[in-house]
Amino acid sequence: MRRRKFIGRALGGGAIIGGTSNLGVTSYSYAEQKRQAVKVQENGKYEILLKGGHVIDPANNINGIMDVAVAEGKIARVEKNIPARDAKRTIDVSDLYVTPGLLDIHLHCFHSRPRYIIADDHCFPSGVTTCCDAGSAGADSFEDFIEIIESARTRILIFLNISSAQGTPKADRDNPTFFDILLAVETAKKYSDIIIG
């Protein structure tokens, strides 16, 4: 399973970063406006240097103006005034927030169904890099959901629906007649890396 991919637009119009092995870039109009603020050079021990952003990282007790250096797809250094000469690509993020990706704990992104959202379209513009789908699929339809989960850049975790009456009126989904507990348990065990409840 892919890990979170970072760098997108955070709440309030910021940038997001994270220490993962797969660094991805989400395009957004604000980034296009700042393209002239990107400096590229051939040498440097970091692939990317985010200069002057307001870093909010509760896990490391950071809340202030810092530079963030990325090497081999991971956060390599976070401190004030990292020299631009140390990076192949330097991006001025001085008016942006920089934070690890956020988590959305309730959405419905089995988007082959009516009224459900596309996780990447909904999450990245809000600074969300991991989401939890709250029961869009049951064990009987979960195999169809796998392709969406694997193709998304957003990390999608699943709360499996215990009902086998997917795509029917809510009254049917709440009817114990349609519950298939054994199949739900079997499916949850098979996909324990992404089914979390």
Number of helical H runs and strand E runs in the chain: 5, 11
- pTM across the whole model: 0.67
Mean pLDDT over 35-58 rounds to 86
Query: Could you give the CA distance from residue 54 to residue 96 in angstroms, rounded to a whole number?
Result: 6
Query: What is the tens place of the pLDDT at every residue in 138-179?
Result: 888 888 899 999 999 999 999 998 886 554 555 566 777 778
Mean pLDDT over 32-48 rounds to 74
Among residues 1, 37, 7, the alpha carbon closest in space to that of 19 is found at: 7
Classify residue 48 as exposed, middle or buried by CB count within 10 Å of its CB (0-12, 13-18, 19+): buried
Tally of CB atoms within 10 A around 193:
8
Tally of CB atoms within 10 A around 97:
18
Query: What is the tens place of the pLDDT at every residue in 75-92?
Result: 999 999 999 999 999 999
